[in-house]
Amino acid sequence: MKIFFLIQFIVLLTFALSIKGDCQIYSNMVEGTNRIFTYRDEAGAYQLLRTETVPSGLTLHMFCHGGDVIEYQCQDNGQFTTPFPMRCSKPMVANAKPVRDNECAGQMYSIGHQINGAHLELFRSCYDARNGRVLYAESDVYYKSYCEMSSVPSLAISKITGAVLMI
């Protein structure tokens, strides 16, 4: 009887060790990292990472200003190849790009990062230039279980330069 349970245990252990584990991104990793979290999709285009779970085998491309990119891969053991957080001396700055949106009573802006010629959108903001205020903003970047909405930075678009400002 003991041998039967021992064989079952060995089979279960072998199965458990063969399962690939996803990597988790925790709040301290995001808060301590000033790089932009991206990955390449099936077509090879960069996309912003919008989830807190990274599938095993996926490589993250962490961008800073001036082509400074570091790659992190999620390993089968649920750990990244390089430990977080990772900071850079010159982080990327988001830019505002006017876009068409018939739902916006003012001018809609797509706020995001330019990476390899593509605009990777963080959020959209409907801006009323006449009254100098944001009417509303739309985002799907902050859908993280660890992120409280009170900790999300407020942003504004400068009337003079069009730059995105953190408030």
Q: Structurally, how many domains does the chain consist of? A: 2
Q: Do residues 155 and 106 share a domain?
A: yes
Question: Is residue 87 one of the residues assigned to a domain?
Answer: no
Question: Is residue 84 one of the residues assigned to a domain?
Answer: no
Strand 164-166, strand 155-157: pairing: antiparallel
Q: Do residues 13 and 51 share a domain?
A: yes
Confidence tier at 52 by pLDDT (50, 70, 90): confident
Q: Is the pLDDT of residue 120 over 80?
A: yes
Position 60 scores a pLDDT of 93
Position 20 scores a pLDDT of 59
> Residues 64-116: pLDDT tens digits?
987 889 998 999 999 999 887 788 889 999 999 999 999 999 999 999 999 98
Q: Is the pLDDT of residue 17 over 50?
A: no
Angle 146-148-153 (CA atoms, 0-180°, nearest 5)?
115
Question: Is residue 89 one of the residues assigned to a domain?
Answer: no
Residue 54 to residue 25: CA distance in whole angstroms? 8
Question: Is residue 79 one of the residues assigned to a domain?
Answer: no
Specify the pTM: 0.69
Write out the residue range of the structural domain in which residue 126 sits.
95-166
Q: Span 114-131, mean pLDDT?
A: 92
Is 25 exposed, middle or buried, given 0-12, 13-18 or 19+ CB atoms closer than 10 A? buried
Q: Is the pLDDT of residue 162 over 50?
A: no
Region label for 57, one of left (φ > 0), alpha (ψ between -120 and 50) or beta (otherwise): left
Position 166 scores a pLDDT of 43
Residue 165 to residue 131: CA distance in whole angstroms? 17
Q: Is the pLDDT of residue 144 over 90?
A: no
DSSP code at position 77: B
Q: Do residues 67 and 36 share a domain?
A: yes
Question: Is residue 90 one of the residues assigned to a domain?
Answer: no
Question: Is residue 86 one of the residues assigned to a domain?
Answer: no
Q: Span 26-33, mean pLDDT?
A: 86
Contacts of 96 (CB under 8 A, 6+ apart): 109, 110, 111, 125, 157, 162, 163, 164
Q: Is the pLDDT of residue 134 over 50?
A: yes
Q: Do residues 31 and 64 share a domain?
A: yes
Tell the residue number behind the tokens 């085998």, with chain if given.
Answer: 57
Position 18 scores a pLDDT of 44
Q: Is the pLDDT of residue 29 over 80?
A: yes
Q: Do residues 55 and 115 share a domain?
A: no
